[in-house]
Structure 1
Amino acid sequence: MATTTSSELTAPFLLLLLLAAVARSTAELVNLTLLTGAQEKGAVCLDGSPPGYHLQRGFGSGRHSWFIHLKGGAWCNTIGSSRNTIEDCSYRKMTYLGSSTLMGAVEFDGILSNDKQLNSDFYNWNKVVVRYCDGASFSGDAEAQDTDGSTIYFRGLRIWNAVLDELMEKGLASAKQAILSGCSAGGLATLLHCNDFHARFPKEVSAKCLPDGGFFLDAESLAGERYSTFFSEVVQLQNVSEVLPKDCLAKKNRTECFFAAELVKSIKAPTLIVNSAYDSWQIQNILAPAESYHGVSWSGCKSDIRNCSSSQIQVLNGFRKQFVDDVKVVKDKKGWGLFIDSCFYHCQLTEFPWSPWNSSASPELGNKTVAKAIGDWYFERSQQVKQIDCEYPCNPSCS
């Protein structure tokens, strides 16, 4: 495993601390709102508690514009865990990923910031963060018996519908502009619910989708196991079906239709896919999970791409090729966009300091930061925002 000296860490580490301090100085803590009548609607977290969201009201010219962001946090089948799927969901229900009783206020930063200098396009919009507590990207509808005899509720689809219905009553129904976004598992949820979100508005409303770090591949691990093995457990346990595209289900099984590469073929709403072709989470958990290799030969590489050997970079480039091949299906779709960089990131819009939103650490493609690219795509200030980066380490703007 390659090592890094303290002197080599100093400059970038201090920069990250500085950027984090600046972001936090302008970020606003927004309290949790619990869903009204959740139990009666059957729209509950894994432990049966009501789901929640954080709402920050828009102002000025943004009073009738809405940005809905779905939080992520993987799924109920931790890779490399000794627990089986039920046990993993049981564990999650004792955390904020499965119970609203353990949720607190969240900071609105990145694309959620109300600072005009940091977030000039969306700073004054109504902004909502929907908390993730179902373990299946807001898509399941089932329940199971826990090992202690209690019930585990898989009600992600009901949570989605109930929260959106409540937000519609709180002003979303009169939106003139709207974006559905999400990070990681929330990015996948954005793709799963994009058509439904778009269909909730009249045709004259500019309703678009913005999945961030949600384009997960059915890639093989170093040990040769496909990621569909893990997704199939989620799909079957949580009865994921209603949310999946019917045209896909006519030709493929439910697990195949749960992957982004199939979902995008059925999405009608304008969508911009933001993702790294060297997605750090996917490399660490799909391509090279701990059980897929022996010793520590991959530990340094998957924690920092700069530590990878030339042979490991070739493997990562194979992963990138599959990513680029899968995402090419949207290149000719009107109103769609791509911001596929070659940085070692996972999610780039919020949750600072891990994301580089509109900072000196932001990657650039076609001379545009991710913030500029999203604004140009949504407001149609540019004819085309479809950028796929070259192979690592070609992009000097990657931090």
Structure 2
Amino acid sequence: MAIPHSAWMEHCQGIIGILDMDQEQIAGLFNWREEDGAITFELVSTAKELVSTAKEPDAAQLQFRGQRIWLAAMEDLMSKGMRYANQALLSGYSAGGLAAILHCDEFRNMFPKTTRVKCLADAGLFLDTVDVSGGQTLESLFSGVVGLQGVQHNLPRICTNHLDSTSCFFPQNLISHIQPPLFILNAAYDSWQIQSSIAPPSADPHGYWHDCRLNHAKCSPSQIRFLQGFRTQMLNAIKGFAMSRRNGLFINSFFAHCQSERKDTWFADYSPEIRDKPIAIAVGDWYFDRAGVKSIDCPYHCDKTCHNLVYAATFEPSGFVANDSGAACCGRVIQIDCNGKQAHEAGLHTLSWDYSSSSCHKVEA
């Protein structure tokens, strides 16, 4: 199991997507951002965000203080005026999306009851699912994380009272119990989960899934059927959550991971849409109570606004943060359009992540 480290963080992180200063990018959140501000945190591991005491295994001498850092940061921000905010949104993507779910109730309790407080989880709906070998790769990984870092003491008791700690680290067992309104933004064919949970190399020793794992266009009909089953499992996992009028959903049928952090997927002329509504507008409508948002896309491959991700043949996932912080450090990620063309060939903006160098820097083409 790979242990994430801050050394793998991007050296330069642009403020784009949901945190962009450009009024056109924020779609209804601009005045709010100008008046109240927006803060971004780099995190390395969701689990560390939940550990409140130092734990130092003799062999590794590791210290897990994520919960203390979270609380110290919130205390500092509150002292600088955040406690007077009229509205607050806790958001995160990937591991940060899971962290937003896990901390949502705690975040709500930091503000007066008169403050509008909601949470947004982008690409944080990690499912407890069976991999292509019949095993449970992600459950095994999460079990190791929970055990190593002692996360169980800070997981919601409403869950741990009837489920084991590892199960309570999976958002599907938490989201229906979150008190503040919560918005789930997720690709139905989450590319990180395909690579690291559904069809990782460890579950595919003969490489049958290798090409499909890196490029959905190379999946066989039987592999697509397997991935359709994953989509069905995701939709079943959110049924109870979706029954609440306060919650929001945007589940699109892409092979992607993280959509609120990028201009092209968050809010642009060619951004993904469901029923003619892009992600940013959907989130804005939900946050400001302009409309209820329960947007679920039709199955692959009927959506013509998709921004799928294709990975170079040298790319292989490594650890829990393989796609996000560069832990794998190999290969390239190329965004393509629905017709299999690279985005720049279709007249669209292209984003690539170059993990071939030691600094794992992000490049734009």
Answer whether contact 1:137 1:186 (CA < 8 A) is retained: no
Shift of residue 391, structure 1, vs aligned partner:
1.0
Q: Does 1:181 align with 2:85?
A: no
Report the TM-score, using the length of structure 1 for normalisation. 0.72
Deviation string 1:345-373 (CA, Å, 9 cap, x unpaired) is: 111001x37x6111244221122100110
Partner of 1:45: none
> SS of the residue aligned with 2:77?
helix
Q: Does 1:396 align with 2:307?
A: no
Amino acid paired to 2:16: D
Shift of residue 387, structure 1, vs aligned partner:
1.2
Equivalences for 1:116-131 in 2 at 5 Å? 116-124=23-31, 125=33, 126-131=37-42
Question: Is there any run of 5+ residues in structure 2 with no aligned partner, and where?
Answer: 308-365
CA distance in 2 between partners of 1:331 and 1:135 (Å): 24
Equivalences for 1:267-306 in 2 at 5 Å? 267-306=178-217
Equivalences for 1:194-273 in 2 at 5 Å? 194-226=104-136, 227-273=138-184
Partner of 2:219: 308
Shift of residue 108, structure 1, vs aligned partner:
0.4
Answer whether contact 1:134 1:154 (CA < 8 A) is retained: no
Amino acid paired to 1:393: H
Shift of residue 94, structure 1, vs aligned partner:
6.4
Distance 1:381 1:137, change over 3 A: farther
Answer whether contact 2:48 2:64 (CA < 8 A) is retained: no
Distance 1:135 1:257, change over 3 A: closer
Partner of 2:310: none
Which one of the candidate residues 233, 237, 260 is aligned to 1:322?
A: 233
Deviation string 1:114-152 (CA, Å, 9 cap, x unpaired) is: 0012223223511111121456251123422364x6x31
CA distance in 2 between partners of 1:143 and 1:208 (Å): 32
Q: Does 1:381 align with 2:293?
A: no
Q: Does 1:190 align with 2:100?
A: yes
Runs of 4+ aligned structure 1 residues displaced above 4 Å come to none
Distance 1:175 1:105, change over 3 A: farther
Equivalences for 1:127-206 in 2 at 5 Å? 127-134=38-45, 136=47, 138-141=49-52, 142-145=54-57, 147=59, 151-206=61-116
Shift of residue 288, structure 1, vs aligned partner:
0.5
Answer whether contact 1:134 1:153 (CA < 8 A) is retained: no
CA distance in 1 between partners of 2:161 and 2:144 (Å): 21
Which one of the candidate residues 267, 272, 276 is aligned to 1:367?
A: 276
CA distance in 1 between partners of 2:69 and 2:134 (Å): 35
Shift of residue 96, structure 1, vs aligned partner:
4.3
Partner of 1:47: none
Distance 1:343 1:179, change over 3 A: same
> SS of the residue aligned with 1:294?
coil
361-370 vs 284-293, which moves further: 361-370
Q: Does 1:111 align with 2:18?
A: yes
Shift of residue 224, structure 1, vs aligned partner:
1.7
Deviation string 1:10-46 (CA, Å, 9 cap, x unpaired) is: xxxxxxxxxxxxxxxxxxxxxxxxxxxxxxxxxxxxx
CA distance in 2 between partners of 1:221 and 1:360 (Å): 37
Using the aligned pairs only, state the percent identity: 40
Answer whether contact 1:245 1:266 (CA < 8 A) is retained: no
Cα RMSD of the aligned pairs, angstroms, is 1.8
Amino acid paired to 1:139: L
CA distance in 1 between partners of 2:258 and 2:81 (Å): 28
Deviation string 1:283-302 (CA, Å, 9 cap, x unpaired) is: 11100001211344322212
Amino acid paired to 2:23: K
Amino acid paired to 1:112: L
Partner of 1:67: none
Question: Is there any run of 5+ residues in structure 1 with no aligned partner, and where?
Answer: 1-76, 78-87, 98-102
Deviation string 1:171-201 (CA, Å, 9 cap, x unpaired) is: 2111111000001000000000000101111
Answer whether contact 1:112 1:122 (CA < 8 A) is retained: no
